[in-house]
Structure 1
């Protein structure tokens, strides 16, 4: 199991624990809610009995006790008769209600109340709980409707509010730590790249001097072996120069994308196996802001990745297209290699991920950094099928400026960089 699969497994374990904690919190809260709801139902029933006794009793000695029981209820309630007329209410908004009472069968008159408010409250109570029926006179009855107390209502929503706050806090914390970690990784990445370029500079300069000395000492100005050694040293200079540009803001200049890509593909294919064919197709007039040394590196990494994916004969095709509406340029690099599983489409761009035994897993990661950070574009796996091949797509911002007239071929550019 590679480090990214281990990290993903660890994330799933943490997510499972979080779900268990959230589920446990909700279950326990629901348990408390059921108990409190049962307790409120019991109190509402006791209150209904006290109302029944208040209506039917003429015993003045028990009247005060019954009134105290009635007034002890903290649950909002409405009492209606069999016709649906409101006879009594408790725990509602006092600014919109009045408190009628029936003592000894005699109604007392009070100011009018807000019918719409009462009707709204009554409908809500009906939706929450079934009514409690109490008998009155002459086989008539009243219905007691009630709703959850404010405490119970708050307790019902409390776990969701709590989980929401915790989730927001965790997201903010994760974003903060992730940003900090990425910043540290970027600093390490840039520092390592620049230090590598710096360390390579001295031995490369020394090797160039030794080559010139060999030519003079052995009179080997046209010796092919020394020429090849010089080409390899120049190649090292190009690599060191590329690493030195990482971390610095590159200068982007308008270039025709087709010319840049086609020229580098031509340079690259003669240094690759003859079993692999290369093709470049698409519009020749699309332009984008490019830093040629870094963009050559991007194309080189994609082509090398495609070559490594092909086992035996195969082909690599580069298609260049664009969208006038979106003002974008698309560069599709398609190979006939072994393909990438769909679950790995994002993973292949992470540092350290590789399917090769001797690979470091930095090529595509570095490619994405150069496209996103330095060319303000994007790169992703457009399509892939196991055993048939893969297509990588680069998206760049299209420019309307004319391409630079002094465009130079890849061989000359690489020599000048050296």
Structure 2
């Protein structure tokens, strides 16, 4: 299993663990809520019975006891008779209610608060939705109905776990983002340091190789020897590689270049260094210009061509097509191979650091390619199309520097 798959598995395991914790918290809170609901129902029933006892008792001591029981109820409640008329209320907003008995006694104090009928109707409707009423039989066959709703404590307890989990989730997201950003910054610093040190270390042997080649030309009179010429090309390529590494971490200079010429030059260099069973073709518009840093952009093309070669088992072909869109002011470079293809669910995964299908692969090629296209050339790169067993097309999209995109001239 490659490192990317291992990290992906750990992410899934941590996500599953988080789901278990969240589910356990919600279930336990639900258990507490159910217990509290039963307790409040019991208190409401006791309160209802206390009113019945209050109406039928003549014992002053017993009345005082019943009153203390009734007043101990913390649940908001409304008592109505069989006709729906208000009899008592408990735990409601005191600025909108008053004791109905005061009115029934015939007291006409103008300082009494106004009776907000709509408030009672709204509260009663809310209570009817929450719980079944408790029936209290009173004198002469009539009865009262006690409606009640959840206490503020129970209401808060219902929503508390969701608030708690939301706060924890936000905290974890912020912490993860900060940690991930810090980790990426640290990785970037290590990568930049390693790249610059590599460029520095390559400088001395490259200079020595150039000197040895010049000595070979003089000693063996081999100015026109094709083998020596290819050796010079490879040493020159090493210089370019060292230059690439030296540019990592700094902002590259982009210069207007004809995209077709840059791509064609590198493909011509690359084709003689792979199996002759693989054919190369470059087609498209030769008149499209984009801002390019040639050493870094050659690296992009190199990685895509190497990826295509590795995907081809035996005989195959690689085609690079350059096209433009006048409406979007974009230049498209499509690299198509006849290799084994990529599953659709891996179109994005192939650009992740560490992902590779080869036993000895590092999984950095396409990751670096995307970084050079996106960060250094302000472009895009993605898998345009792929079919298992038939091949893959990678697309690079760059900003065109031409005012108008000329009609394509197809050149092989």
Q: What is the TM-score when the length of structure 2 is the normalising length? A: 0.89
1:22 corresponds in structure 2 to 22
1:373 corresponds in structure 2 to 375
**What is the 5 A alignment of 1:224-303?**
224-283=226-285, 286-303=288-305
Judged with a 3 Å threshold, the aligned counterparts in structure 2 of structure 1 residues 12 and 164 are, in CA distance, closer, same or farther, namely same
User: Which has the larger displacement, 312-321 or 240-249?
Assistant: 312-321
User: Which has the larger displacement, 139-148 or 222-231?
Assistant: 222-231
The Cα of 1:341 is off from its aligned counterpart by 2.4
2:258 and 2:404 mapped to 1: Cα distance? 8
The Cα of 1:37 is off from its aligned counterpart by 0.8
Say if 1:254 and 1:401, in contact at 8 Å, map to a contact too: no
2:354 and 2:199 mapped to 1: Cα distance? 21
2:208 and 2:261 mapped to 1: Cα distance? 35
User: Which has the larger displacement, 149-158 or 372-381?
Assistant: 372-381
Unaligned runs of 5+ in 2: 406-412
Judged with a 3 Å threshold, the aligned counterparts in structure 2 of structure 1 residues 318 and 363 are, in CA distance, closer, same or farther, namely same
The Cα of 1:282 is off from its aligned counterpart by 4.7
Judged with a 3 Å threshold, the aligned counterparts in structure 2 of structure 1 residues 42 and 341 are, in CA distance, closer, same or farther, namely same
Q: Secondary structure at the match of 1:50?
A: helix
2:347 corresponds in structure 1 to 345
The Cα of 1:281 is off from its aligned counterpart by 4.4
1:78 corresponds in structure 2 to 78
1:284 and 1:214 mapped to 2: Cα distance? 39
Judged with a 3 Å threshold, the aligned counterparts in structure 2 of structure 1 residues 402 and 360 are, in CA distance, closer, same or farther, namely same
1:150 corresponds in structure 2 to 152
1:62 corresponds in structure 2 to 62
The structure 1 residue matched to 2:161, chosen from 144, 159, 162, is 159
The Cα of 1:208 is off from its aligned counterpart by 1.1
Q: Residues 380-404 of structure 1: CA distance to partner in whole angstroms, max 9, x if unpaired?
A: 223322211112122323444589x
2:178 and 2:18 mapped to 1: Cα distance? 20
User: Which has the larger displacement, 317-326 or 306-315?
Assistant: 317-326
1:333 corresponds in structure 2 to 335
The structure 2 residue matched to 1:117, chosen from 80, 101, 119, is 119
The Cα of 1:349 is off from its aligned counterpart by 1.9
The Cα of 1:358 is off from its aligned counterpart by 3.7
1:44 and 1:283 mapped to 2: Cα distance? 84
2:410 corresponds in structure 1 to none
1:49 corresponds in structure 2 to 49
User: Which has the larger displacement, 284-293 or 208-217?
Assistant: 284-293
Say if 2:256 and 2:289, in contact at 8 Å, map to a contact too: yes
User: Which has the larger displacement, 125-134 or 361-370?
Assistant: 361-370
**What is the 5 A alignment of 1:32-43?**
32-43=32-43
User: Which has the larger displacement, 225-234 or 31-40?
Assistant: 225-234
The Cα of 1:172 is off from its aligned counterpart by 0.8
1:23 and 1:187 mapped to 2: Cα distance? 40
Q: How many residues align?
A: 402
Say if 1:90 and 1:99, in contact at 8 Å, map to a contact too: no
Q: Residues 257-276 of structure 1: CA distance to partner in whole angstroms, max 9, x if unpaired?
A: 34433454345445444433
Say if 1:100 and 1:108, in contact at 8 Å, map to a contact too: no
Say if 2:86 and 2:100, in contact at 8 Å, map to a contact too: no
User: Which has the larger displacement, 257-266 or 286-295?
Assistant: 257-266
Q: What is the TM-score when the length of structure 1 is the normalising length? A: 0.88
User: Which has the larger displacement, 189-198 or 58-67?
Assistant: 58-67
RMSD over equivalenced CA pairs, Å: 2.5
1:169 corresponds in structure 2 to 171
Judged with a 3 Å threshold, the aligned counterparts in structure 2 of structure 1 residues 237 and 255 are, in CA distance, closer, same or farther, namely closer
User: Which has the larger displacement, 386-395 or 269-278?
Assistant: 269-278
1:138 and 1:283 mapped to 2: Cα distance? 101
Say if 1:47 and 1:69, in contact at 8 Å, map to a contact too: yes
Q: Secondary structure at the match of 2:238?
A: helix
1:259 and 1:229 mapped to 2: Cα distance? 23
User: Which has the larger displacement, 254-263 or 327-336?
Assistant: 254-263
The Cα of 1:28 is off from its aligned counterpart by 0.9
Judged with a 3 Å threshold, the aligned counterparts in structure 2 of structure 1 residues 7 and 395 are, in CA distance, closer, same or farther, namely same
The Cα of 1:284 is off from its aligned counterpart by 5.0
1:361 corresponds in structure 2 to 363
**What is the 5 A alignment of 1:119-134?**
119-134=121-136
Say if 2:96 and 2:114, in contact at 8 Å, map to a contact too: no
1:98 corresponds in structure 2 to 98
1:230 and 1:257 mapped to 2: Cα distance? 25
Q: Secondary structure at the match of 1:360?
A: coil
Say if 2:2 and 2:354, in contact at 8 Å, map to a contact too: no
Judged with a 3 Å threshold, the aligned counterparts in structure 2 of structure 1 residues 312 and 43 are, in CA distance, closer, same or farther, namely same
